[in-house]
């Protein structure tokens, strides 16, 4: 009998593996990254189940069980291809293949996951599995910067294709993650996940500057207190040395 693993379990495993890979490789201090789980939210239809963004790249990832025969993604794909096949947007096909991905899972098979560009979801034949996709994602996070103008235009195409209102729906915000110079985790809130998808460099660099300013302001009183206490410690050490003689 066939058994199943739900999409949210696969998404959770991907995020866990991604975090482990990033931690093993080492995340530069104050290098912010957003990993936004959008499944079953108002943004799911346009941006997919998972959004990953830093100053260098954006990834939109859709997860689906092979045993789920819902044709929703096929309908969305036909709309998207109709636009990208037109002359004015044909250049965005390569952008789509870089940032928009589809993860198909069926753990009844020897190869439980197959990962392909979203444009290839109807013929998901590839040697890329979830583990390899994690490795590629981590490499891309530290790789060359993407063309943000092209990725933003592609996401605007997704808005027109997948959102009947013509505008991407708003959310209450999201969270960014980074570490400080001591490796301590820092969580940074943002107000607008759609803007993170469309202008990640602007959003992340602005939050990084704010974070560094707040940290500097926080450290100033601590440094002043430390300087005030230093003479007292020196006096105590002198008295201790005198008594030992």
Domain that holds residue 20: 7-225
The predicted model gives 67-80 an average pLDDT of 91
Of 138, 154, 141, 160, the C-alpha closest to 204 is 141
| Average per-residue pLDDT for the chain | 85
Is 208 part of any domain?
yes
**Which of 168 and 44 is assigned the larger pLDDT?**
44
Is 193 part of any domain?
yes
Is 86 part of any domain?
yes
Is 101 part of any domain?
yes
Is 233 part of any domain?
no
Is 175 part of any domain?
yes
Is 74 part of any domain?
yes
Q: Which of the four pLDDT bands, split at 50, 70 and 90, describes residue 241?
A: low
Distances (CA, A) of 218 to 181, 214, 230: 15, 6, 19
Question: Going edge to edge, which strands form the sheet with 185-190?
Answer: 113-117, 100-105, 58-65, 50-53, 33-37, 174-179, 185-190
For the stretch 94-111, pLDDT in tens is 999 999 999 999 999 989
For the stretch 110-145, pLDDT in tens is 899 999 999 999 988 778 999 999 999 999 988 888
What per-residue confidence (pLDDT) applies to 124?
80
In this prediction the pTM is 0.84
What per-residue confidence (pLDDT) applies to 127?
81
Q: Which of the four pLDDT bands, split at 50, 70 and 90, describes residue 209?
A: confident
Is 117 part of any domain?
yes
Residue 244 has pLDDT above 80, yes or no: no
What per-residue confidence (pLDDT) applies to 87?
83
Which residue has tokens 């999409």? 7
The predicted model gives 42-65 an average pLDDT of 93
Residue 84 has pLDDT above 60, yes or no: yes
What per-residue confidence (pLDDT) applies to 70?
87
Structurally, how many domains does the chain consist of? 1
For the stretch 175-207, pLDDT in tens is 999 888 788 888 999 988 988 999 998 888 888
Task: Extract the tokens encoding 25.
Answer: 């490789």
Lowest mean pLDDT segment, chosen from 3-17, 52-66, 114-128, 205-219? 205-219
Lowest mean pLDDT segment, chosen from 10-14, 148-152, 168-172? 168-172
Which residue has tokens 């979203």? 118
What per-residue confidence (pLDDT) applies to 223?
57
Q: Are 45 and 161 in contact (CB under 8 A)?
A: no
């Amino acid at each position: 009998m066939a058994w199943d693993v739900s999409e949210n379990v696969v998404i959770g495993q991907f995020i866990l593996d991604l975090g482990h890979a990033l931690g093993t490789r080492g995340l530069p201090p104050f290098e912010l990254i957003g990993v936004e789980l959008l499944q079953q939210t108002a943004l799911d239809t346009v941006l997919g189940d998972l959004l990953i963004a830093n100053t260098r790249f954006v990834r939109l990832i859709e997860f689906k069980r092979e045993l789920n025969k819902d044709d929703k993604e096929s309908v969305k794909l036909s709309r998207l291809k109709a636009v990208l096949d037109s002359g004015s947007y044909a250049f965005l096909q390569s952008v789509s293949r870089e940032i928009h991905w589809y993860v198909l899972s069926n753990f009844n098979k020897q190869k439980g996951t197959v990962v392909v560009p979203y444009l290839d979801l109807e013929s998901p034949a590839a040697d890329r599995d979830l583990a390899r996709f994690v490795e590629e994602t981590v490499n891309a996070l530290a790789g060359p910067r993407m063309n943000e103008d092209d990725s933003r235009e592609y996401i605007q195409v997704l808005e027109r294709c997948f959102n009947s209102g013509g505008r991407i729906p708003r959310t209450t915000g999201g969270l960014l993650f980074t570490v400080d110079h001591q490796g301590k985790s820092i969580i940074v809130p943002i107000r607008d996940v759609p803007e993170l998808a469309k202008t990640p460099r602007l959003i992340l660099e602005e939050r990084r500057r704010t974070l560094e300013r707040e940290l500097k302001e926080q450290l100033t009183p601590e440094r002043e207190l430390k300087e005030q206490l230093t003479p007292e410690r020196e006096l105590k050490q002198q008295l201790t040395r005198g008594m030992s003689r």
